[in-house]
Structure 1
Amino acid sequence: MEWQEQWDVVVVGSGAGGLVAAITAAYNGQKVLLVEKSDVFGGSSALSGGGLWIPNNHVSKKAGLQDSEEEALTYMEDVIEDNGPASTRERKVAYIKNGSKMVSFLEELGMEWVAAPLYPDYYPERPGGKIGRSIEGEVFDLRELGEYESLLRKGMVEMPFPLYSGRVYSVPRTFTSMKDFTNVSGMLFSGIKYKLQGKHATSIGQGLVSRLIKMALLQDVTIRLSAPLKDLIIENEEIIGVEIEQDGEPYFIQTKAVILAGGGFERNEELRRKYHNIGSEWSSASIGNQGDMLLIAQKHSLDTALLDEAWWGPTAINDDGSPSFLVYERSLPHTIIVDQEGNRYFNEAESYVDAGKAMLDKQEQSGKAIPSWMIMESRHRNRYLFGSMMPRMVPKKLLNSGWLKRADSIEDLAKICAIDVEGLRKTIDRFNTFVDKGKDEDYKRGDSAYDNYYGDPAYANPNLGHISKPPFYAVKVYPGDLGTKGGIVADEHGQALRDGKPIIGLYATGNCSASVMGKVYPGPGSTLGPTTVFGYISANHIKSTMFEQAEVETI
C-alpha cells in the first residue's frame, strides 16, 4: 500500500460523538484527523435539541438532583429490556461510569454546561428513574469560530432566538400563563441582547457542535470536509488505514486507530425498505446519512445489531415536504391521535420512540395507521403553538394546500380525512369521558411525570382536554425518526467487533453503531449522550492500549 498521509487517529464524522472523540484523542497526545463526508460540519447533532442524558453528572447535582451510579444502572437495567450485544451490562456500566467523567473533562476544556432540572427521564416512575439528568451547552457565539462559522450545518427552520431544550416546554404554552410567558420572554430578551452586542448567538444542537468544533481546533485537530470514508483497510484483525475520497480521487491514509461516528442509514431508501419496510422521507436526520458506515461494516463482516430499530417519533410532513418531529404538540390537551378507522391506539404523550413504534406496530396489525391523524379542537389551536403556527392563527396556505384540515363537526372532519366516521365519533365520545374523570382508562395518558412535562398545568390532568368545541382540525402523522439506531456492535471500550472479537484499533459510536439503549429511549438526550460518552471512552482506550503514555482510567 502506498500511503499518502499518516495519522495516529482518524475520526469519521463531525457530529457530537466524532468531535468529542477527536478532542479526547488530541488531548491525549495523538495526532488526529477528522474527516466529514459533507461540506458542512455538525451532522444530525446540529439538527438536534442538543441535550445529553448523563446520569450522576455534577452539573445536574449542582442544580439539586440526587443521583448515583447504582440508581442509574438500576434504571437502565429495568427499562432496557433488550439484552442484545449492544446493551450488555458491561456497556451500561461503562456508559454510566464514564459519562460524568466526560462532562467534567469537557468542562475543563471550555464547555459551559446548563442543567435541565425539570426534564424527566422518559420512565421516571420506574426503579431508579429521576427528573433532571439531562444537560446541554450554554448559548454560543458563532463569531468565535471565525471562518468555520459559515460551515455549520443549518436546520430547515432557524430559531428566532437562542433557547434551551430544558426550558422549551414553555414555548408552546407562551400565552397560557405568566410563568411560561416570563420564561419565554427571558430567552427572547437574551436573544435581543445578544444581537445588540453583535453576537451571533446559537444554542441547542448547533450551539453544542459549534462549541465542540472550537474546542477541537484548540486541541489542533485537523478537520477535513467533503472527504467521505470509502473503505477500511484491515490486516490480521487490525486496522492499518483508511481510504477516503479527496477532490474526487481515492486517497489512502495510514493510521493506528479509527473511530467511526459517521451516522446511520436513515436517508438510504434501499436500506430503509430492507430493514424497516418504510421509506426515508419522514426522517428528521441529516440528508447525508446514507448508510456508508453500515455498508462498509457489512463488506468487512463486522458484527451488527438493531438494524430494524430507529429513534422513532410521530412526524408531520410540512407542505414543503420537510419533516416536523412532534414532541410537545401531541401531549397538550384537546388533541388525540387516531388511525384511519378513528381509533386511538397509544398514549399520545408518551416517549416519542414508544409512540413511533406504536404506529409501526399498529400498521403491521391493521394496515390503517400510516398515516394516522392528529385531531385538534379549537382550544388547542387557540392556546398553543403547533409547529410554526402561533395560537389563533391558521395560515390559509396550510388549509389550501390540504396540510391542515378543518371542519365544524367531527363527522365532517372525518369525511374530509377519509377516517371512519362512526369510529372517530365513538373514540372522541369515550375520550371525553376520560377528560371528565381526569383519567385515561385506555392508555394512561397523563399518569407519568414525563407526560405532564409537556402538558398544561392549568388542567386537572395536564394532558387531557375535551374535544367538543368547533372548529376541529386534523394533520396527517407518520412514523418518522431522529435517526436509525442499529449498526456496528461495539464492546464496553467502544471497539468494533467481528465474530464477537475486537478489530484492533477500530471503534464505533453514535448512530453507525448499535445503541447501548437497545430498543428504548430512557431519557432526554439518549442519542447524544451515548455517542459522546463512547467517543470519549474509545479515545481513552486508544491511548491506554496503543500509545506509551500514562494510563487513563476508563471503567
Structure 2
Amino acid sequence: MEWNEQFDVVVVGSGAGGIVAAITAANKGLKTLLIEKGTSWGGSSALSGGGLWIPNNHVSKKAGLQDSEEEALLYMDTVITHDGPGATRERKIAYVQNGHKMVQYLEDLGMKWVAGSLYPDYYPEQPGGKIGRSIEGAIFDAKKIGALERTLRAGEIDPPIPLYSGKVASLPKAFTNAKDFGTVIGMFATGFKHKLKGERAISIGAGLVAGLLKIALEQGVKLRLATPLKDLIFEDNQVVGVEIEHNEETSYIQAKAVILASGGFERNPELRKKYHNIGTDWTSASPDNTGDILLIAQKYGFDTDLLDDAWWGPATLDHNGARKFLVYERSMPHSIIVDQTGQRYFNESQSYTDAGHAILERQQETGKAIPSWLIMESRHRNKYIFGDMLPRMTPKEAIEKGYIKKAETIEELAKICGIELEGLQLTIARFNDFVDRGIDEEFGRGNSAYDNYYGDPNYKNPNLGKLEKPPYYAVKIFPGDLGTKGGIVTNEHGQALKNGQLVEGLYATGNCSASVMGRVYAGPGSTLGPTTVFGYISANHIHNYLAVPQAALVKK
C-alpha cells in the first residue's frame, strides 16, 4: 500500500466523543488526526444541550451530591433492561468506573465544568437514582479557538444568551414565580458581563465542543474539516489505515488504530425507513449524519445492535420548517397530548425517549398517533414560554401558516385538527377530574421528581392544570429524535466486534455504535456521557496496547 501519511491514531467525527478521544490519544503521546466529514465542527454534540451524565464525578460531589459507583451500577442495572451486546454489564462497569476519571482528566487539561445540581436522573425514584449527576462545560469565549470559531456548527435556533442546561427549567416559568425569574435575570446578567469583557460567550453543546477543541489544539491534534471517511483498510482482520477524501482527492492514511466517533444514520431516508419506518423530517441531529459508518460496518459484517432504536422525543415542525424538540413545553400545566382519536396514551412529562417510544408504539397499534397533538389552554400560552415564543406572544404568522391551531371551543379545535370530538371531550373531562385530585390516575404524570423539574411549583401537582378556559391551541407532534442509538457493537474497551471477536485496531463510540444505555435515557447527558467516556476509554486502551510488547499483551 502506498500511504500518503502516517498517524498512530485516526479519529473519525468531531462530536464531543471524537474530540475527547483525540485529546486523550494525543496527550498520551500518540500522533493523532481527527477528521470531520462536514464543513463545521461539532456534529450533533454542538446542537445539543451540552450535558454529560457522569455518576460519581467530583464536580457534582463538590456541589453536594452523595454518590458512588455501586449506586450508579444499581441504577443502571435497574433501568437499563436491554440485554443486547451493546449494554452488557461489563460495559456499564467500564462506564461508571471511567466516567469520573475522564472528568478529572479533562479538568487537569484545562476543561472547566459546572454541576447541574437540580437536574434529576430520568427515573430518580428507582434504586440508585439521584438528582444532580449531570455536568456541563462552563460558558466559553469562542474567540479562544481562533479561526476555528468561524467553523463551529450552529443550530437552527441558537440561544439568545449563554445559559446552562441545568438551569433551562427556569426559562418556561420565569414569569410565574420570583425564584425562576431571578435565575433567568441572572442568565442575562452573565451574558452582559461576558459582552462587557469583549467575549463571544457560547454555552451548552457549542460551548462544550469549543472548550474541547481548544484543548485538542493545545495537545497537538491535527484537525481536518470536509474530510469524509470513505473506507477502512485491513490486513489480516486488522485495521491498518483509512481511505479519506478531501477537496475531491482520495488519500490513504496509515494508522495503528482507528476510532469511529461519528453520528448515526438520522439523515439517511433509506436506512430510516428500513429500521424505523419513518423518514428524516423530524430529527434534530446533524445534517451530515447519513449513516456512512453503518454502511461500512455492514459491508464488512461487523456486529450491530439497537438499529431499530433512537434517542426519541416528541417534536414539532414550525411554520418556517424548523424542528423543535419538545422538553419542557409538554410538561407544563394546562396541556395534554392526544392521538387522532382524542385519547391520551402516555405521561406527557416523562423522559423524551420514553415519550417517543410511546408515540411509535401507539402508531403501530392504532395507526393514529402520527401526528399526535399537543393541546394547550389559554393559561399555558399566557404563562409559559413555548419554544422561542414568549408568554402572550403567539406570532400571527404561526397561526396563519397553520403551525399553531387556535380555537375558541374544543369542538372547533377538534374539527380543524381532525381529532375525534367525542374522544377528546371524554379525555379532557377525565383529565380535569385528575387535576382536581392532584393525581393523574391514568399515567402518573407529576409523580416523579423528573416530571416536577419542568413543572410549575405554584400548582398542587406541578404538571397538572385544567383545560377549560379558551382560547385553545394545538400543535402537531411527531416522533423526533436527537440521533439514532444503534450501530457497531463494542466491548468494554470500546473495541469493535465481528462475530463476537475483535476487529483489531478498530474502536467505536457515540451514535455510530450500540449504546450502553440500551433502550432508555438514564439521565440528562446520556448521549454525550457515553460517547465521551468510551472515547476516553478507547484512546487509553490504544495507548496501553501500543506501549506493551505485543508478545506480552493478553488480548481480550
Give the distance between the partners of 1:309 and 1:107, measured in 2 at CA.
Answer: 33
Per-residue deviation, 1:319: 1.2
Aligned pairs for 1:79-90 (under 5 A) are 79-90=79-90
SS at match of 1:172: coil
Aligned pairs for 1:81-120 (under 5 A) are 81-120=81-120
Query: What residue in structure 2 maps to residue 198 of structure 1?
Result: 198
In structure 2, the gaps of 5 or more residues are: none
Give the distance between the partners of 2:127 and 2:221, measured in 1 at CA.
Answer: 42
Q: CA offsets per residue over residues 529-548 of structure 1, 9 Å max, x none? A: 00000000000000111235
Give the distance between the partners of 1:107 and 1:75, measured in 2 at CA.
Answer: 26
SS at match of 2:103: helix
Q: Which amino acid aligns with 2:166?
A: G
Structure 2 residue 15 is the aligned partner of structure 1 residue 8? no
SS at match of 1:316: strand
Shifted more, 114-123 versus 315-324: the winner is 315-324
Q: CA offsets per residue over residues 307-364 of structure 1, 9 Å max, x none? A: 0000000001111212100000000000000000000000000000000000000000
Q: Which runs of 4+ in 1 moved over 3 A?
A: none
Aligned pairs for 1:93-492 (under 5 A) are 93-492=93-492
SS at match of 2:87: coil
SS at match of 2:85: coil
SS at match of 1:282: coil
Q: CA offsets per residue over residues 443-470 of structure 1, 9 Å max, x none? A: 0000000000000011010000000000
Q: Which amino acid aligns with 2:337?
A: I
Q: Which amino acid aligns with 1:309?
A: D
Give the distance between the partners of 2:17 and 2:291, measured in 1 at CA.
Answer: 17
In structure 1, the gaps of 5 or more residues are: none
Q: Which amino acid aligns with 1:467?
A: L
Per-residue deviation, 1:494: 0.1
Give the distance between the partners of 1:548 and 1:501, measured in 2 at CA.
Answer: 21
Per-residue deviation, 1:159: 1.1
Query: What residue in structure 1 maps to residue 547 of structure 2?
Result: 547
Q: How many residues align?
A: 551
Give the distance between the partners of 1:101 and 1:34, measured in 2 at CA.
Answer: 23
Q: CA offsets per residue over residues 48-73 of structure 1, 9 Å max, x none? A: 00000000000000111110000000
Give the distance between the partners of 2:524 and 2:117, measured in 1 at CA.
Answer: 12
Query: What residue in structure 1 maps to residue 48 of structure 2?
Result: 48
Percent identity reads 66
Query: What residue in structure 2 maps to residue 26 of structure 1?
Result: 26
Give the distance between the partners of 1:454 and 1:144, measured in 2 at CA.
Answer: 34
Give the distance between the partners of 1:545 and 1:221, measured in 2 at CA.
Answer: 20
Give the distance between the partners of 2:445 and 2:293, measured in 1 at CA.
Answer: 39
Q: Which amino acid aligns with 1:208?
A: L
SS at match of 2:86: coil
Query: What residue in structure 1 maps to residue 500 of structure 2?
Result: 500
Q: CA offsets per residue over residues 401-454 of structure 1, 9 Å max, x none? A: 000001111111000101001110110000000000000000000000000000
Give the distance between the partners of 1:169 and 1:262, measured in 2 at CA.
Answer: 30
Q: CA offsets per residue over residues 142-175 of structure 1, 9 Å max, x none? A: 1101111001000111211100000000001111
Per-residue deviation, 1:515: 0.1
Give the distance between the partners of 1:322 and 1:252, measured in 2 at CA.
Answer: 39
Q: CA offsets per residue over residues 366-424 of structure 1, 9 Å max, x none? A: 00000000000000000000011100111100010000001111111000101001110
SS at match of 2:386: coil
Give the distance between the partners of 2:206 and 2:50, measured in 1 at CA.
Answer: 7
Give the distance between the partners of 1:306 and 1:322, measured in 2 at CA.
Answer: 28
Give the distance between the partners of 2:536 and 2:144, measured in 1 at CA.
Answer: 24
Give the distance between the partners of 2:327 and 2:535, measured in 1 at CA.
Answer: 27
Give the distance between the partners of 1:210 and 1:276, measured in 2 at CA.
Answer: 33
Q: Which amino acid aligns with 1:150?
A: R
SS at match of 2:123: coil
Q: Which amino acid aligns with 2:61?
A: K
Shifted more, 20-29 versus 319-328: the winner is 319-328
Give the distance between the partners of 1:519 and 1:267, measured in 2 at CA.
Answer: 20
SS at match of 1:96: helix
TM-score in terms of structure 2 length:
0.98
Q: CA RMSD in A?
A: 1.0
